[in-house]
């Protein structure tokens, strides 16, 4: 069996450096390693609407932002199919069939859904579409027969639901769908990069994100204001690197090459951390280094973004072409699904002949 990689994002805002180290960087590597048969990255606008029903404009605006972030990060439409979820009606169809193969209580047990319901204060007023999104996500994955889904830990419950639905579908109707497994990001600081204020989550409302599309100056202002170690007051005080955002970000971004190029006094991050812990190393020096490290990644992205921004209609065209090619695959799977479920009436010569005979015999 071939390798089919698929993953997506809800287009509810611009992507930030947390998205980059958590998933985008790995996607671009996977794409460039080329060890797969097909690779899809899509914008889950239908899923985004499940908790933004009254604000479709937000989604509409962010499609292009996320598309530019993808292209800037190095996703290449020649190698990887980029598409928009809502433009693949086969997804809704498969979702409908899958909904019959799972119970309400099974969805209720999904820990990610539970947390999100709390976070959004839905309580007794959970939109039904929101409640069902794990099933729709199973359709996203199975319609393309993806077997590898790069995603964060929080998506594991969705993958569990997907595998259960694949088994139930295949046992009930025949082997059509493929069981996927999750590909988690590498260990360490990358799994969940905190905000620049040291709060656990990067979020737009907390204003603690560094966006991929920010200018070098905006990034420097944010790096300068980063939360470090409140006990590291005087230069010679010993410092803490745990919970210190400068070091957390260096964990996620810096390489030995960065030290060789920008700060050859240290061979690697361990040496820098040792010095910081001993005392005698100022925050500002570390921040300046982090800024260089970040810029090494962000500057080429800015340049690529700038190029794509010159021809926005072409970016929509890239999405349109990707969506068309995704739809071809979607249509094939839906044909197989309908055939397995035996609801492909018009293609079912046997059914038509059988019924013709049954009714013919009645006539005599
Ligand atoms: N739930 C994912 C998120 O919130 C987005 C998503 C939708 C997704 N469908 C998917 C991710 C299928 C991987 C595979 O980011």
pLDDT for the residue numbered 341: 98
pLDDT digits (tens, 9 = 90+) for 21-80: 988 999 999 999 999 999 999 999 999 999 999 999 999 999 999 999 999 999 999 999
146 CA closest ligand 1 atom index: 14
- When pLDDT is cut at 50, 70 and 90, the band that residue 123 belongs to is confident
Distance CA 272, CA 250 (A): 10
pLDDT digits (tens, 9 = 90+) for 315-324: 999 999 999 9
Q: How far is the CA of 10 from the centre of ligand 1 (A)?
A: 7
Q: How far is the CA of 363 from the centre of ligand 1 (A)?
A: 55
Q: What are phi and psi of 211, to 5 degrees?
A: -85, 150
Q: Answer positive or negative: Cα dihedral of 325, 328, 333, 337.
A: positive
pLDDT digits (tens, 9 = 90+) for 171-218: 999 999 999 999 988 776 567 889 999 988 888 888 999 999 999 999
Beta carbons of 149 and 181 less than 8 angstroms apart: yes
Distance CA 281, CA 287 (A): 11
Question: How many CB atoms are closer than 10 A to CB 326?
Answer: 25
User: Ligand 1 atom 2: the closest Cα is on which residue?
Assistant: 9
Q: How far is the CA of 152 from the centre of ligand 1 (A)?
A: 9
Q: What are residue 150's DSSP bridge partners?
A: 183
**Range scoring the smallest mean pLDDT among 96-110, 197-211, 281-295, 322-336:** 197-211
User: Ligand 1 atom 5: the closest Cα is on which residue?
Assistant: 9
Beta carbons of 135 and 167 less than 8 angstroms apart: no
- When pLDDT is cut at 50, 70 and 90, the band that residue 122 belongs to is confident
Q: How far is the CA of 141 from the centre of ligand 1 (A)?
A: 9
Q: Is the pLDDT of residue 152 over 90?
A: no
Q: How far is the CA of 283 from the centre of ligand 1 (A)?
A: 38
- Residues in contact with ligand 1 by the CB-under-6-Å rule are 6-10, 44, 47, 137, 140-141, 149, 151, 155
């Amino acid at each position: 069996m071939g390798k089919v990689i698929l993953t997506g994002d809800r287009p509810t805002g611009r992507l930030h450096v947390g998205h980059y180290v958590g998933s985008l960087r790995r996607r671009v590597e996977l794409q460039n390693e080329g060890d797969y048969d097909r690779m899809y990255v899509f914008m889950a606008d239908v899923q985004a609407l499940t908790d933004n029903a009254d604000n479709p404009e937000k989604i509409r605006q962010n499609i292009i932002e996320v598309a530019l972030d993808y292209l800037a990060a190095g996703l290449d439409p020649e190698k990887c199919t980029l598409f928009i979820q809502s433009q693949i009606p086969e997804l809704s169809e498969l979702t409908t069939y899958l909904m019959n193969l799972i119970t309400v209580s099974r969805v209720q047990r999904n820990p990610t859904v539970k947390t999100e319901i709390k976070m959004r204060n839905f309580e007794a007023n959970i939109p039904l579409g929101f409640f069902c999104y794990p099933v729709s996500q199973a359709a996203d994955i199975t319609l393309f027969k993806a077997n590898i889904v790069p995603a964060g830990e929080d998506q594991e419950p969705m993958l569990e639901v997907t595998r259960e639905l694949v088994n139930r579908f295949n046992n009930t109707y025949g082997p059509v769908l493929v069981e996927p497994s999750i590909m988690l990001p590498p260990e360490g600081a990358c799994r969940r990069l905190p905000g620049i204020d040291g709060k656990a989550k990067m979020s737009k409302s907390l204003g603690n994100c560094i966006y991929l599309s920010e200018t070098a100056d905006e990034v420097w202002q944010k790096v300068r204001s980063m939360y470090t170690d409140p006990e590291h007051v005087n230069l010679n005080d010993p410092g803490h690197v745990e919970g210190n955002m400068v070091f957390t970000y260096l964990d996620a971004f810096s390489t030995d090459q960065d030290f060789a190029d920008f700060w050859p006094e240290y061979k690697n991050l361990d040496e820098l951390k040792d010095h910081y812990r001993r005392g005698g190393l100022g925050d500002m020096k570390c921040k300046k280094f982090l800024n260089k490290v970040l810029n090494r990644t962000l500057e080429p992205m800015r340049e690529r973004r700038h190029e794509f921004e010159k021809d926005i209609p072409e970016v929509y065209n890239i999405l349109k072409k990707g969506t068309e090619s995704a739809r071809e695959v979607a249509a094939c799977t839906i044909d197989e699904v309908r055939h397995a479920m035996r609801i492909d009436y018009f293609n079912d010569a046997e059914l038509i002949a059988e019924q013709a005979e049954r009714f013919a015999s009645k006539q005599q």
